[in-house]
Structure 1
Amino acid sequence: MLRKFSSRCTALFLLVIAGFSYLSWRMIEIQYTNRKQYQQAAQNAGTTITYLPGNRGHILDCNDELIARSITLADLRINRYDLNDNNLCSKSLAWDELSTTPGWIDLSDSEKSKRMHKTMKRLIENESEILNSKFLTHAVSHLAIALRVKREDLMTKINSKPNDWFILERNMEESIYESVQKAIDTHKLFGFSLEKTARRRYASPELASHIIGYPKIIEVQHGKYTYKKEVGTYGVEKTLESILAGKDGHRTSVTNPRGFLITPEPGKTLPPRPGLNVQLTLDMEIQSIIEEELLAGIKEYQAPRGCIIVMNPKTGAVLGLANYPSFNLNDLNNLDTNGINFATQMVYEPGSTIKVVAAAAAMNEGAITRHTPIFCHNKLYQQGNFSMKDHHSYSTLSAEWVLGKSSNIGVFKMAMMVGMQKHYDYLASFGFGKKTGIPLSSEVNGRFTRSENLYDFASSTYGYAVSVTPMQMACAYSVIASDGKLRKPQLLKAVIANDGTAIQQMTPEVVREVIKPNTAREMRRSLLTVMQKEGTAVQANVPGYIACGKTGTVYKFNTETKKYFTNRFTCSFAGMLPAADPDFVCIVVIDDPSSTGVSLYGGTIAGPVFSRACERIAHHLNITPTETVEPRVVNQ
C-alpha cells in the first residue's frame, strides 16, 4: 500500500515538474528566443495602417485654363459592432467624463489609466442596459455639430439603417470632414470612421469629354488593408496615367492598451505626393466654339452624328475636337451610346474631300500644274468595259477647276497619270489606312486596298472604297496647309511640376514629307476655286477672310442590303484659313442629315458650319482679316 502511494506521489511530482519545465521553456522562448517575433505580433495587433492616395495632377489647356483637378472627399462610416460594444462605449463615455475634470491633464499615464478603468467599470456595472444608447446620443450630439445638421435628423438616419456596416454621409468636403474627424478624435467616438477618396472635378464637364476622359475608383489591396484611388480609364486621363497618377502614402497608427491612438513616431508617416500636371494643346475657347457650332448644325440639319476638328498644321497641335453625341464627365450613365469618339474611333467614306490626294500626287510628280487642261468627257467616261459618270457634264476644266467643280472623271484621270500603285502610295503617305498616333485609346486604322480592279481604283480616287477617320483627314489637310509634311497629331503640350516649373515641353513630330512645299502652295491656290460662286462650297466662305478647302458628299452604305442608300449621305468639308498661310485646319463632318429644306451636299450642310465656326475661331486667334472679297467666277 505504501509502495503504491509512493509511486503515485512520484508520478504527481514528475507531472508537476514537467508542467513547470514547459512553462519555463515557453517563458524563455517568448522573452529571449523568439522575443522579436512576439513583440512584432503584439505591435501589429495594435497597429493600423491608413493608406493615403496621392491626388491626380491637374489638366490645363494651352492658355493655362484649368480643365480638371482632384479634390479629397470623405465618407463617414459606421460600424454597429463597435456601437454595441459595452467596453468601447464605456471608454468613450469615461474619457468624456474624466477629460473635462480639473487637473486631468496633469495626471500621469498610470493614474489616468486607473481612473479610466474605475470609471469604465462603474458605467458597465450601473448603466449596462442604457450604455449603448447613451453613447450613441453622446456621439450624435457632437457629430451633428460637425456635420451641421439637426441631432434628431442624424439619429433618425442612423436608426433607419439596419446594416452592421454602412455609410452615414457621403462625399463630404474638406471643411466638413475635418470637423467630423476632430469630433471623433476629441471625444473618442468609437464605431465612427472616415474613408477619404480623391474625386475628379471638371471646370466644364460637357466640353471635350471624349478627349479629357475620366478616371474610375478602384479598390487597392495591400496585405490585409484596402483603400480606394482613382485610375484613368478613358481619354487622356488614361493615356497620360503615368504622368497624372499620384504617389500613394501611408500612416501607421498604434493603439495603447486602453485602445486609444498613440501619435505616430517620426518616420511612421509617408505623405502622399500628387501627380504631375499636364498642359494640353486644346484651346478651351475654340473647343467651346466648335461644340456650339456643331450642336447648332446637328439640330438644323437633323443629323444623329457629327464631328469638328481644329488643328494647327505647322505643329500638329489639336486645338479643338468636338463630337456629337457627347456626354457629361460628371454623369457617365449614357456612355454606351455617347461614349464613342467619332473623330478617332469611327470611319466613314470621305467622298470628294479625298480628291486632294490624286491632285497633289499628279502635281508633285510633275504630271500637271493647276492650269493643266483636263478633258472630262461631258459626264460619261468609257474605256473598254469600264465606264464612270460625273454628276454634271463638263468638257475641259483646268486642274484646279477639276477640284472646284469636283469632277470625278477629272480626278480619276489625274490619278491615272500617276499610276495605280503610286496613287496608293500617296494615299498611304498622306496617312490613310494607318492610325495617326494621337494619344487617345482605341483609335482605328481606317482602310483602303491596293486593288488593280479599275472600278475599285476609280472609286478610291473620289472617296469610295476608302474608309477614314476625321482625324486622318485633318492630318492629311494639314500636309497641304503647311509645308507638305505629315505631322503626328499632338494633345500634350507640356508636363508641369506642382510648383509650376515646366518639366517637359513637347515638340512637333514630323512623320515624313509627303509633297514638296511648292506643291502644297499650289494645292491651296487650287482649292480657292471651291469657294468661288461656280465652286461647290460658296457657303463655306468665311466673312472677312480668304479660306480654301474641299467639299465631300457620299452616299451611305446599307450594311443589310450591301448596297448604297439613294437618299442618305455623309456630308463634310475640309478647309483651312487663311488660305495663303493657314493658321489652322478645320474638318467638319455631318453624318446622315435629313433636313428637307436644304439640298444634302457637303457644301450646303457642312460648309455653313465651317464658315460660322472659322469666323469665330479667327477672331479668337486675332488673325488679321483680309479685305472682304465677293466670291467671283474665275476663268476655267
Structure 2
Amino acid sequence: MIKKSRLFLPFIPVFVALFLAFGYLGYLQIWQREEYIAKVSNQVVRENVRQGWRGRIFDRHGRLLVGNRQVKKLFADARMIDNPEEIAEKISRLTNLSSSWVLNQLARKSRYIILKDNLTADEIQEIIRWRCPGLGIVTETERYYPEGDLAKNILGIYNENVNCGLELALDKYLRGRTMTQKVERDALGQELPLEFYSPQNLAGNDIYLTIDRNIQYNLENSLWDIIKTHGARRAMGVVQDPNTGQILAMANVGEDILPGSNFLVTNVYEPGSTLKLITYSAALATNLIKLDEPVNCENGRYQIYDRTITDHEPLGIVSWRQAFAHSSNIAAAKIGQKIGARVLETYLRNFGLGSFTGIGLPGESRGQLPRYWYPITPAIVAYGYGVGVTPLQLINCYSTIANGGQLLEPQIVLKVINPDGKKIFGAAPRVLRRVVPVAVAEQMKDLLREVVESGTGQRARIDDFVLGGKTGTARKIQLGRGQYSSTDYLASFCGIAPLSEPRLVCLVVVDNPGRNYYGGEVAAPAVARIMKESLQYLALNSSDDYWQLVRNIIK
C-alpha cells in the first residue's frame, strides 16, 4: 500500500511554481503597480496639443476672405498594425494613394501618421467598416479661401508647412490659444477625449482688412487682361484711398508668382518718368520754375558731361507745363541741375522714398537712393533713373499730391475684433508730415490733368470723371552687365480721380510688355478701366461721413 505522503510528492514542484508565480504577481501588483500603470497609460492614453481656431480674415465690408473648416483625416498608429501589407493594399484600393507609399509611411513605426486629408463620406464609412486596429479618423481644422485665389498675394498661406503674407504678419492676432487635451485610444485606434475641448473658445482674433473685395477683383482682372493682350511677363497694381492711406486693392500676376509673394512692397525698380511728380513738386515748392515760363528741350538731345539725354518726342522751346505733359526727360534733367543734390534728396525723402512705409507687410524694402551724388546724379535722378522705389512707395507719393500735400502712412488693416466681439484695434489715418503746400499740390494736379488731356496719358481718359496722371517708361538694367537693356522695359501709369475731390489713386506697372512698351499705351488704359469701374462702384456706397473725415484730415 502506497503511503499518502508519497501521493503528494509529484505535486510539490507544481505548488512551488504556483507559489512563486502568485508571489511574483503580488510583487508586481504592490511594488511595480505604478510603473506598469504608466506603461499601459502611455500606450492607451496620450496628450494632444490642441489649438483654437485661427482668426478669420474679412474685407472692409465684412465679406469673408479666409476662414476655417473642419476636415476628416485618416491616421495610423504603426505600432498597432500587425499586417501593414494588407492594410496598405486596402487603403490603396479605397483612395488614390499608392500601396508602396503607405507602406513606407507605416515603416516609420510612428504612433501618429496622417495618411490622407479630406476624407469623403464614403471613405469614412468604409474605413469604419474595416475595424482595423491602428487605423483611425481624426477631425482637424484647416484654412480655406471662399474667394479662391483672390488677393492671395496679400493674404498668403497658413498650414503646417508654410506661413507667409498677412497670415504671417498678423499671426500674433490670428493665432488661437493652445491647450493640452488627454485622449484615450480604443482597440481600433479611435481617439476618445478624456477632457472637454472647444476650438471656438480658444479662437484667435478676426481681422478686417482695408481691402475691398470688388475693387480687388476689378484690379486682378485688369492685370490679367494686360498679360493676355500684351504678352507681358508680369503686371502689378495697387489702388489707394489718398485721404486715409488705406489700400483698397493690391495685386501682382504673371510668371513665377507664389501666394504671399507681394512684389508691390518687396521689389524695387527704377520708376522712370512717374518720378517727375517729385521733381516738379520740388521745383514749384522752391519757386525754381513758373509753369508758363519757357524751357528749351533741345530738340530731343541734351549733352551733360559724357551723358546724352534724349526725349522720345523731340521738343524745342515749350512751357514747363507742356514739357511735363509730354514727359520731357531733358526738362526734368534741367530741373535736377538747377535744384541740386541736397534739395532734391530732401524732397525724395520727404515723399517717403528710401524708408519703410509703415504698412507692416512681410519683406518690405525701403527702396534705394543714391549713395553718392556725383555732379550728374541730380539730372539723372530727376527723370526717374538712379533711384529705386517700390510700387507702394510710388503710389503713396501720388496720394500725397491727391490729398493736398500730406504724406500718410499706408494701411492694410482696418480693425481687429476679438472672439467676444470687442474691437481691440481700429485704423485711423496717420499723417506723417506735410511735404508740399496745398497750392503746390493743386498745381501738380493741374499738370497731371494736362498729361491725360493732351499729353502722353490720353488713353487714360474716362467718361463722367476727370482723371489726371503720369506715364512712365523705363528701361530695365541688365543684371551682371551694368547697362540698360534695349528690349526690356517697365511700363507704368499712376492716376488720380476724380481730380476735383480725389477719392482713388491707382498705379499699374507692367514688366516686359512686349513690342508696345510705353506706359501711356499699356498701363494707362488699364488704370482708366480700374478707375471707372471702381468709382462707379464707390458712388453707390459713399457717405457724408467719409467726406467729413477727409475734411478733418486736410485741416
TM over 0.5: yes
Are 1:593 and 2:513 an aligned pair?
Answer: yes
Structure 2 counterpart of 1:171, from 118, 121, 124: 118
How far has the Cα of 1:518 moved from its partner?
2.3
Partner of residue 13, structure 2: none
**Residue in 1 aligned with 2:155?**
212
The alpha-carbon distance between structure 1 residues 79 and 414, as it changes in their structure 2 partners (threshold 3 A), is closer
Assess, with a 3 A threshold, how the Cα gap between structure 1 residues 176 and 389 changes in structure 2: closer, same or farther. same
For 1:476 and 1:261, locate their aligned partners in 2 and report how far apart those are by CA, in whole Å: 58
Alignment of 1:285-434 (within 5 A): 285-325=214-254, 335=258, 340-381=261-302, 388-434=309-355
SS at match of 2:441: helix
TM superposition shift of 1:476? 1.1
Distance 1:501 1:452, change over 3 A: closer
**CA distance 1:180–1:518, shift in 2 (3 Å):** farther
The count of aligned residue pairs is: 511
- Aligned-residue offset at 1:42: 7.2
In structure 2, which of residues 26, 46, 49 is the aligned counterpart of residue 48 of structure 1? 46
Distance change >3 Å, CA 439–CA 205, structure 1 → 2: farther
Structure 1: 5+ residue runs without aligned partners?
1-19, 86-131, 138-149, 219-231, 328-333, 626-636
Structure 1 residues 391 and 80: CA distance shift in structure 2, 3 A: closer
Please say if residues 477 and 585 of structure 1, whose CA atoms lie closer than 8 Å, have aligned partners that are also in contact.
yes
Partner of 1:619: 536
Instruction: Give TM-score, length-normalised by structure 2.
Output: 0.80
1:72 partnered with 2:70: yes
Give the AA of the match of 1:209: K
Equivalence for 1:104:
none
Q: In structure 2, how many angstroms separate the alpha carbons of the residues matched to 1:379 and 1:156?
A: 66
TM-score under structure 1 length normalisation: 0.71
- 1:610 paired with 2:527, answer yes
1:62 to 60, 63, 78: 60
Q: Unaligned regions of 5+ residues in structure 2, if any?
A: 1-19, 543-555
Q: Which has the larger radius of gyration?
A: 1
In structure 2, give the amino acid aligned to 1:59: I
Question: What's the CA shift for 1:28?
Answer: 13
Q: 2:490 aligns with which of 556, 560, 570?
A: 570
Asked if the contact 2:164/2:260 (under 8 Å) is kept, the reply is: no
What residue identity is the alignment partner of 2:171? E
Find the aligned partners of 2:96 and 2:477 in 1 and give their Cα distance.
61
Deviation at 1:47, TM superposition (A): 3.1
**Corresponding residue of 2:165:** 235
Q: Residue 256 and residue 206 in structure 1: after superposition, are their counterparts in 2 closer, same or farther (change >3 A)?
A: closer
Equivalent position SS for 1:406: coil
The residue number in structure 1 matching 2:550 is none
In 1, the alpha carbon distance for the partners of 2:192 and 2:270 equals 68
Letter in 2 for 1:341: N
TM-aligned CA distance change 1:151 to 1:322, over 3 Å: closer
Identity fraction in percent: 29
- The answer for the alignment partner of 2:182 in structure 1 is 252
CA distance in 1 between partners of 2:508 and 2:393 (Å): 13
**Corresponding residue for residue 10 of structure 2:** none
Kept in 1, the 8 Å contact 2:73–2:139? The answer is: yes
Whole-angstrom CA distance in 2 between matches of 1:153 and 1:413:
76
Identify which of 134, 138, 143 aligns with 1:191: 134
Q: Distance in 1 between matches of 2:126 and 2:255?
A: 39
Matched, 1:556 2:499: no
In 2, Cα distance between equivalents of 1:79 and 1:28: 28
The answer to whether 1:201 aligns with 2:144 is yes
Contact 1:280 1:492 in 2 (8 A): yes
Deviation of 1:452 after TM superposition, in Å, equals 3.5
Output the amino acid matched with 1:605: V
Give the superposition deviation at 1:450: 5.1
Q: CA deviation at 1:617?
A: 1.2
Q: Which moved more, 1:387-396 or 1:542-551?
A: 387-396
Whichever residue aligns with residue 49 of structure 1, its letter is: E
CA distance in 2, matches of 1:78, 1:624: 53
1:544 aligns with 464
Structure 2 vs 1, CA of residues 263 and 409 (structure 1 numbering), >3 Å: closer, same or farther?
closer
Separation in 2 of the partners of 1:435 and 1:155? 50
Q: Amino acid of the residue matched to residue 511 of structure 1?
A: L
- In the alignment, residue 335 of structure 2 is paired with which amino acid? M
Distance in 2 of aligned mates of 1:155 and 1:540: 54
The residue identity in structure 2 corresponding to 1:275 is: G
Measure how far apart 1:325 and its partner are.
1.6
Aligned amino acid, residue 473 of structure 1: L
Deviation track 1:315-350 (CA, whole Å, cap 9, x = no partner) reads: 1111111212278xxxxxx74xx8643212222211
TM-aligned CA distance change 1:84 to 1:559, over 3 Å? closer
Instruction: Tell me the distance in 1 between the aligned counterparts of 2:209 and 2:522.
Output: 31
Mapped partners of 2:327, 2:117: distance in 1: 60
Distance 1:244 1:525 in 2: 44
How far off its partner does 1:279 sit?
0.7
Runs of 4+ off more than 6 Å: 26-31, 34-42, 150-153, 155-160, 175-181, 259-263, 383-386
Structure 1 residue 292: Cα displacement = 0.8
The one-letter amino acid of 1:622's match is: A
2 CA distance for matches of 1:201 and 1:425?
46
Q: Give, in whole Å, the separation in 1 of the partners of 2:505 and 2:450.
A: 17
> CA–CA distance in 1 between the matches of 2:204 and 2:471?
44
Shift of 1:519: 1.6
State the AA in 2 paired with 1:612: R
Cα gap change, 1:548/1:263 in structure 2, threshold over 3 Å: closer, same or farther? closer
